[in-house]
Amino acid sequence: MLEARGLCKSFGNVVAVRGVSFCARDGQITGLLGPNGAGKSTTLRMLYTVLKPDEGDALIDGRSAIADPLGARRSIGVLSHGAGIYNHLTARENITYFGELHGLSRADRDARAAELIELLEMQPFADRLAKGFSQGQKLKTALARALVHRPKNVLLDEPTNGLDVMAVRGLRKLLVQLRDAGHCVLFSSHVMQEVEQLCDEVVVIANGQVVAAGTLADIRAHGGDRLEDAFVALMEPAPASDSPRGGAKT
Amino acid sequence: MNLRGIWAVFRKEFRENLRDRRTLLSALVFGPVLGPMLVAGVVQFSISHSEEQYDENITIAVIHGERAPNLLAYLNARGVDSTPVDLDEAGARRAVADQTHKVILDIPEDFGARLQEGQPAPVILYSDRSRNFDRQSVERVRSLVGQYGLEIAQLRYLARGIDPISVLPLSVQEVDVSTPSSRSVLVLNMMTYLVILSMLFGGLYLAIDATAGERERGSLEMLLTSPVPREHLIYGKILAAAAYMAISLMLTVAVFSVSMSFVGLERLGITANLGPRAAAKLIACCSPLILFGASYLSIVSGFAKSYREAQTYLGLVITLPTMPLLFAGLLGLQAKLPLMLVPFLSQHLLMTTVVRAEPIEPALMVVSVASTLVYGGLLMWLAGRLYRREGLLG
């Protein structure tokens, strides 16, 4: 379970996140929805312990990301925005490296890598050097790397960016599998359809604040019967200051 | 200490860079092979050049040679041939400046007349002293002309009934106390410099790749979410860069040791102490610098936003610590205790001592090793502090 408690973060004079609180539960897929520049990435980065909040705290399975970042990291798997992989390692080596960093024994991380390679259907390229991988192959490698230590909580920052339809479908399938296995899945997106198809709960963020949270039905109640209409209605009172609403990130 | 984490990062960086042609070339080829070849080539060339200059006839340009036939015959008998040219003063200056002629001898119009009257007869010698390479030819012509004058003077004394010996009140005898090995230092000073530089280059690309490169690829953020303390991540990277530096250092010294044995140094009157034992000592003197160098390069490239930016910084920064070495050569510094506290300089001085085949005082060695390791440790700690900053993510 992931819990944001009054998270605040500024970079110099720019306030990125101002008092974000929400909860992402186990066995659910939670979507962090918002326009570009709304503070989604910053919020996620505080949750996955790379940034320290100025105020508030991020709790991972009840463990404070500020007080015990190393402990918190053991139970999270992260796919950061544009996650890069190591070109001179094979896909399998990329995965086992992170297994090693997480303290898995050699036998354990080898077995786990084989398991993930099968799950993500990576067999054709698992033992090739990552140099020249397609976008989809890179994403699968990065995902497997994030899951190597069987994290209870999985955080993904705009995971579908730059992927083709087949790769997106594969990712969706995996997220559903993770949810059904009882994991807590939190991902950020600005794509309505994606959120609509996947999420059990949605947290709408604009201008560094939570403007709505709840099930899809709860969000839709804010206006119109499509999520997009509701989203636009939510943006009206608090438009994102520095970007067009719902504009597509490339 | 999360030793497993440090070890994991070290192994991965080491292996990944083993597959990177750029790292391999700079660690195993550029420094270790090209450096020693360069020095061997330069030494070989200067040996054959200096032998040539003393053995072979040289040809100089002469303006109005017909005014001094005896002088030209004297020079010719001593291996200096002349070609007549017709140039005015400005033309002669230009010809030397643009290297059409290395040396031009100009005999003025009143040469013969003044010689007959017993007055100093002028001879003009044009040369370019800034050109080291021609200096030997110039010196040779100058001294031959001087000798010719001296012989005329002695004939004049004899004609006036004076014993020529009595007008030579002093007899200067030069004694060169440099031993063959200490002379070799002048030639091989360049070598210790290249050993240190080549060692640094060995870890250069790994240091860039593991810091700025990792950030640019976007894999740094994922790495920072692993349960290994941030400073341990950079320690692993520094140690991997250090491993490449160590390999580069050993290879460079080994190649130097072998290649110098093929160069005819003894023909220059030089015996360089570069056998296997000396090579081992050179490596021992230099190796404490590895930790310092690896941390230093990692810190600098850690500040860079991209691979390219890091390359630009490091190109400048890598020569910075080797500056004192150039001054050491100019000032003729010797290994002394206070100097052992200066990293790079102390290693340079100790290596020079080894090449001279002089014994190293244990105290000097201890101070050099201990102080450099302490600085290296401090820099490593500093790198760890830098990796704890949030700004690292850029």
pLDDT on residue B232: 95
At position A100, the amino acid (one-letter code) is: E
pLDDT on residue B24: 86
Most confident of A88-102, A194-208, B111-125, B251-265: A88-102
**ipTM of this predicted complex?**
0.88
Decide if pLDDT at A245 tops 80.
Answer: no
pLDDT on residue A248: 39
CA angle B57, B61, B64 (to 5 degrees): 130
Give the span between the Cα atoms of B35 and B28, in whole angstroms.
Answer: 11
Identify the band that residue B282 occupies on the pLDDT scale cut at 50, 70 and 90: very high
CA angle A228, A234, A239 (to 5 degrees): 110
Do the chains contact at A83 and B218, CB–CB below 8 Å? yes
Most confident of A150-159, A211-220, B132-141: A150-159
Stretch B33-55: mean pLDDT: 72
**Cβ neighbours of residue B386 under 8 Å, at least 6 residues apart?**
B234, B299, B302, B303, B392
User: For chain A, what percent of residues have pLDDT higher than 90?
Assistant: 72
A159 phi and psi, to 5 degrees?
A: -70, -25
Give the span between the Cα atoms of A174 and A85, in whole angstroms.
Answer: 20
pLDDT on residue B265: 65
Give the span between the Cα atoms of B9 and B210, in whole angstroms.
Answer: 10
B119 with B149: CB under 8 angstroms?
no
Rounded mean pLDDT of chain B? 85
Q: What is the pLDDT of residues B142-190, one digit of tens each?
A: 888 888 888 888 888 888 888 888 877 787 777 766 555 555 555 667 7
Q: Which element (helix H / strand E) includes B6?
A: helix B3-18
Rounded mean pLDDT of chain A? 89
**Cβ neighbours of residue B217 under 8 Å, at least 6 residues apart?**
A84, A85, A86, A87
Give the span between the Cα atoms of B281 and A176, in whole angstroms.
Answer: 63
At B329, list the tokens. 């050569």
Q: What is the pLDDT of residues A4-20, one digit of tens each?
A: 999 999 998 999 999 99
Tokens 């919020």 -> residue:
A43
pLDDT on residue A39: 92
pLDDT on residue B82: 87
Chain B residues with at least one Cβ partner in A under 8 Å = 4-5, 8-9, 11-12, 15-17, 19-20, 214, 217-219, 221-229, 390, 393
B110 phi and psi, to 5 degrees?
A: -85, 10
DSSP 8-state symbol, B185:
H
Task: List all residues of chain A from 70 to 99 with a beta carbon under 8 Å from chain B.
Answer: 70-71, 73-74, 76, 78-89, 93, 97-98
Decide if pLDDT at B77 tops 50.
Answer: yes
Stretch A40-63: mean pLDDT: 94
Residues of chain B positioned with their CB less than 8 A from the CB of A54: none
* pTM, rounded to two decimals: 0.80
Identify the band that residue B303 occupies on the pLDDT scale cut at 50, 70 and 90: confident
At A120, list the tokens. 């993500």
Decide if pLDDT at B269 tops 80.
Answer: no
At A241, list the tokens. 């200051």
Order the strands of the A55-60 sheet from edge to edge: A14-24, A2-11, A55-60, A63-64
